[in-house]
Amino acid sequence: MIPTPPDWAALRADFPILDQHVHGQPLIYFDNAATSQKPRVVIEALRHYYERDNANVHRGIHELSNRSTTAFEAARARAAQFINARSADEIIFTRGTTEGVNLVASSWGLKHLQRGDTILLTEMEHHSNIVPWQLLAERTGAKVAYLPVSGDEGLLDLSRVDEFLTRGVKILSLVHISNSLGTVNPVANLCARARKLGVVTLVDAAQSAGHCPVDVQQIGCDFLAFSGHKICGPTGIGVLYGRAELLEAMPPYQGGGEMILSVEYSGTRFKPAPHRFEAGTPDISGPIGLHVAMDYLDGVGREAIFRHDQELAQYAYEQLAANVPNVRLFGPRHGRAGLVSFLLKDVHAHDVVTLADQAGVALRGGHHCTQPLMHKLGVESTARASFYFYNTKAEVDRFVEVIREVRKFFAV
Ligand code: C6P
């Protein structure tokens, strides 16, 4: 049976922020890779929490604390279901993808890495999946290697995996969907190859978790991190999945309240995972809002979202290529996720983004926290349009028209 496609226009109406003018023009929000907008149900959930249920979790015996704790732990169970983890105990709440990677690098990394070991990344990683490993390498004497990316199409050079994925590698940490290129990496395949060699794996799902089905058992990774704010949830909350066997053997990341079984002046006994990794009062409204966001997204259907975003990106790519002379496009020609990175010859990306903003189109310009990749591509920055399910083909048409006007303005 062919599923009925979602009513995209009705879904768009769930996002109050989209209904506004910017600089006198209807807002076209194409900066979804930076952060997504929030549907009314998520905003309402946060309001309800603060108006009715706000209390600290895991501590109080009173009604409001019980309500908060129940909602907080229900969000953990929902997050496990969202990525098909085997248990809610495999879900650690973090501040976002960045903190998830840092947690693994600090806790697992300091315990397991030593001089001469290799941390394998790819050349298309976000800084949050480079810098924590470089810090760890400095502390342990391990080295960092990068699986190469080939050409402007920005695909991983899979012919070189065997050369890089060797027994000296202790962890392979790679991005699922590139935020600069839109490349979708074959993470299940690479994790399977890593597992055969006993290499631990981490998947950065910042750009995938809310855009396509993500199943940690099918991917076969040991860790996976994502951010709530990119998947219709609040800022300041993220999820780190860790396979139970690994989490149980990992030391705490931070010390403080909530993560202990007992404390004596002489030492401390820690709670099991995941609580051992959540010191102090957590973000409570964050998981509650995220729970509603995950329900909302799965109500829409992440397969349908992926198809929709892909279609918009492919359309945008082709329209830019066909109608804008002197445009340089980055990332795969086919099979890209929902974003397009580009440059106009002799025009700085920031100028493109500034003029687009005047026309009501929100883009992002810069290195997108992938500076090494930009240098590899021989540029300092790109302009980027990134889509979500509430964006429309008509908006892409208007965006292409605006980019044509920008080109004319700069006479390139
Ligand atoms: N990319 C972008 O505009 P945080 O900041 O922790 O929520 O997410 C970090 C992160 C990690 N990995 C990837 C692939 C990402 O895209 C991001 C965030 C934003 O592309 C901000 S630089």
pLDDT tens profile 103-126: 999 999 999 999 999 999 999 999
Q: How far does the centroid of ligand 1 lie from the alpha carbon of residue 380, in Å?
A: 18
Q: Is residue 271 located within the same domain as residue 346?
A: no
**Mean pLDDT lowest among 202-206, 225-229, 256-260:** 256-260
The whole-number pLDDT of residue 132 equals 98
**CATH number for the domain harbouring residue 406:** 3.90.1150.10
Q: Is residue 362 located within the same domain as residue 217?
A: no
Q: How far does the centroid of ligand 1 lie from the alpha carbon of residue 162, in Å?
A: 28
First to last CA, the chain: 50
**CATH number for the domain harbouring residue 90:** 3.40.640.10
| pLDDT average, residue stretch 2-21 | 93
| pLDDT average, residue stretch 40-61 | 95
Which of 104, 369, 382 has most ligand 1 atoms within 8 Å of its beta carbon, as the pocket-test mutant? 369
Which amino acid is it at 175? V
The whole-number pLDDT of residue 2 equals 66
Question: How far lies 372's CA from each of 68, 178, 186, 286, 309, in Å?
Answer: 43, 13, 21, 32, 27
Task: Provide the pLDDT confidence category of residue 88 given band limits of 50, 70 and 90.
Answer: very high
Whether residue 27 is predicted with pLDDT greater than 80 in this model: the reply is yes
The whole-number pLDDT of residue 1 equals 64
Q: Which atom of ligand 1 is nearest to the CA of 177?
A: 14
Which residue's alpha carbon is at the smallest distance from atom 21 of ligand 1?
34
Q: Is residue 85 located within the same domain as residue 49?
A: yes
Ligand 1 contact via 369 beta carbon (within 6 Å): yes
Whether residue 410 is predicted with pLDDT greater than 80 in this model: the reply is yes
Cβ atoms of 64 and 54 closer than 8 Å: yes
Q: Is residue 270 located within the same domain as residue 350?
A: no
| Tokens 């030391």 belong to residue | 251
Whether residue 153 is predicted with pLDDT greater than 90 in this model: the reply is no
Boundary residue ending a domain (272, 299, 326): 299
- Is 2 contained in some domain? no
Q: How far does the centroid of ligand 1 lie from the alpha carbon of residue 179, in Å?
A: 7
- Is 3 contained in some domain? no
Q: Is residue 266 located within the same domain as residue 403?
A: no
Ligand 1 contact via 122 beta carbon (within 6 Å): no
- Is 176 contained in some domain? yes
Ligand 1 contact via 319 beta carbon (within 6 Å): no
Q: What share of the chain is helix, strand, coil (3-state, %, to 5)?
A: 45, 20, 35
Q: How far does the centroid of ligand 1 lie from the alpha carbon of residue 385, in Å?
A: 15
Q: Is residue 322 located within the same domain as residue 191?
A: no
Rounded to two decimals, the pTM is 0.98
**Mean of pLDDT over the chain:** 97
- Is 368 contained in some domain? yes
| pLDDT average, residue stretch 192-199 | 98
Count of structural domains within the chain: 2
Ligand 1 contact via 183 beta carbon (within 6 Å): no
Q: Is residue 179 located within the same domain as residue 247?
A: yes
Q: In terms of residue numbers, what domain contains 207? A: 43-299
- Is 1 contained in some domain? no
Q: To the nearest whole percent, how much of the chain has pLDDT over 70?
A: 99
Task: Provide the pLDDT confidence category of residue 331 given band limits of 50, 70 and 90.
Answer: very high
| pLDDT average, residue stretch 177-188 | 98
Q: Is residue 169 located within the same domain as residue 23?
A: no
Q: Is residue 295 located within the same domain as residue 308?
A: no
Q: Is residue 191 located within the same domain as residue 254?
A: yes
